[in-house]
Amino acid sequence: MVMGRRGVVAAGHYLAAEAGVHILRSGGNAVDAAAATAFVLQVVEPHQNGLGGEVPVLFCAAGSDRVWAISGNGTAPAAADIATFRSLGVEGAIPGDGYLPALVPPGPATWTAVLRRFGTMRLAEVLAPAVELAESGFPVGDSLHEVIAGNAGRFEEEWPTSARNYMPRGRPPGVGEVWHQPDLAATLRKLIEAEEGAATREAGLKAACDRFYRGDMAAAIVDCARSTPVRDATGREHTALLTEDDFAGFAARLEETVAVEWGDLTVHKCSSWTQGPVLLQSLRLLEGLDVERMGHNTPDYIHTVVECMKLSYADREFYYGDPEFVDVPLERLLSSEYATQRRGLVEARHASMELRPGGRAPIMAKDIRDEWAAFEADWPHATGDTTKLEVADAEGNMVSATPSGGWLMSSPTLTGLGFQLGTRGQMFEMAEGHPNALAPGKRPRATLTPSLATREGTPYLAFGSPGGDCQDQWALQFLLNVTVYGMSLQEAAEAPVFYTAHFPNSFYPRAAEPGVLYVEGRIPDQVRRDLQGRGHIIKVTPAWNEQQVLGAMRTACGAFCAGVSPRRDAGYAIAF
């Protein structure tokens, strides 16, 4: 009899968390459970992630003090360069919808690579919960209903494949209605078919990956995306630039993480092909400031954290990019010496209205607005959200992953396949020489950013949040809540939050709101007035409306615990 493993699973949907638990109880490890959780999230939250989207992963193996980053980020087509995009009518921000910003979808390669290296189960076992839900159906939640309903007009008028897939009865599925995804189920079954007959588990996973990237599935994806003109934010119709060669040349990459020490923890992030290092830069800045003395969510605390984040995000804007294409000075950006230099820019009673990257002249608020908001258009912004998962098992394996992209509102459903290509290419810059400039084969600097902390080389805490540019802002606050203020994971997840929109947004149309500080309505009015007096432009968000952070921990005594934000579509966690 197979003995199940103890562990903890936290995920953005209860059915996904239950799938991860099922895998652990069936004898799989944390990697097997994380992959199963991720595939179920694609089925039940297609407005937040999909098979054609992205999934950066952090993983720490049992018995090892090494944390790995798996580059679940797509690459630009060989035909995608700035000159080509300009010839197609893209002059400023790359559109956030349609096929032009489509990259090679990295998800299947990422999970099959992680499973081959660190998992124990065959793909058929891992995919079984997702296939069952896609075929048998699941109850539609509020946000999925709202997103489908909000895009129904476009589906009916422009994207008939999406209308057939998401409104099979000629209308959006109602809240609580059991909804099926037969085309997606058939697509997942093709991956299972590919591994059948393979002599080993590893060979089966490779066969499934090859079918998606070098077989009939790649051919079908490319044929549909290149033969279907789609109108996007440029106002013109475009097809995809992707080719079968782009798919055939793609592989998931196992990379070193970037990390800093924070107290007795080592906090790990993916490299500069994500925004992840901004959290590490912010920790470096804050380690020289007594935030514990300031008190949680006091005016001094919020002001200090926000001003430090502004400095980190300014460096993100001007230094981060795919390190395989550009020299990103992370050693300097994460050094104590640089943090000491930058920390001097934080004024106790004054909110900066400048974008201040290190080593460059500051950019004034007016210029930030003029340069990055110039592309605002009367066009529906197709930005979706993100989901999250954290898994740990009793053997000591821990996974943090951030699935996103391939949203149902980003581009039409691929004919007969039941999923959409992602639009992460919108995060590239259209400026020659910029570290994040569009180039063939390059990864855009994604907002997706899992987090994993070790203690004395042992996996301790996996955490993170959906939320675009806010992901590391909210993850930082969560970590400070736990490590500085001694909150439990659940208390830390429920605490009121804030965020700044001071810097250019990573999504089309790249607008910025210099000096703007959003604070949750539960933060007292007197705190907001004090912050306003320091020059922050305060905007109040409804209580319990922002942030969906998840955290999963394995304590020194081997116990598991988790915390999940109850906001919006609340996540779900199971420790056993």
The Cα 284–Cα 308 span in angstroms is: 9
**In DSSP terms, which residues pair with 446 in a beta bridge?**
274
Residue 287 clears pLDDT 50, i.e. is over it: yes
| CATH for 260-379+448-575, options being 3.40.50.300, 3.30.70.260, 3.40.50.720, 3.60.20.40 | 3.60.20.40
- Please state the domain extents for the chain: 19-49+75-254+403-427, 260-379+448-575
Tens digit of each residue's pLDDT (9 = 90 or more) over 496-551: 999 999 999 999 988 899 999 999 999 999 999 999 999 999 999 999 988 899 99
Residue 1 clears pLDDT 50, i.e. is over it: no
Give residue 381's pLDDT band: very low, low, confident or very high (50, 70, 90): low
Tens digit of each residue's pLDDT (9 = 90 or more) over 291-348: 999 999 999 999 999 999 999 999 999 999 999 999 999 999 999 999 999 999 999 9
Contact status, residue 15 vs residue 36, Cβ threshold 8 Å:
no
What tokens does 39 get?
A: 């595939």
The DSSP secondary structure of 390-445, one letter per residue, reads EEEETTS-EEEE--BB--TTTSPPPTTT------GGGGSB-STT-TTB--TTPPP-
pLDDT of residue 384: 65
pLDDT of residue 570: 76
What tokens does 94 get?
A: 């790359």
Amino acid identity of 441? Answer: G
What tokens does 346 get?
A: 């934080």
Three-state DSSP string of 430-447? CCCCCCCECCCCCCCCEC
Write phi, then psi, for 560 (nearest 5 degrees). Answer: -115, 145
pTM attached to this predicted model: 0.96
In 3-state terms, what secondary structure has residue 86?
Answer: helix
Tens digit of each residue's pLDDT (9 = 90 or more) over 432-468: 999 999 999 999 999 999 999 999 989 999 999 999 9
What is the CA angle 190-191-196, rounded to 5?
Answer: 90
**Nearest Cα to Cα of residue 94 among 232, 225, 230, 229:** 232
Say how many CA atoms lie within 13 Å of 172 toward its Cβ: 20
Residue 383 clears pLDDT 60, i.e. is over it: no
Residue 103 clears pLDDT 60, i.e. is over it: yes
Average pLDDT over residues 358-363: 91
Q: What is the dihedral of CA 131, 401, 51, 18, to 10 degrees?
A: 20
**Nearest Cα to Cα of residue 153 among 501, 409, 362, 335:** 409
pLDDT of residue 370: 67
Residue 382 clears pLDDT 60, i.e. is over it: no
Share of the chain above pLDDT 70, in %: 97
Q: What are the Cα distances from residue 442, in Å, to 410, 424, 472?
A: 21, 12, 23
Average pLDDT over residues 396-415: 96
pLDDT of residue 4: 83
pLDDT of residue 373: 53
Average pLDDT over residues 65-85: 96
Contact status, residue 155 vs residue 162, Cβ threshold 8 Å:
yes
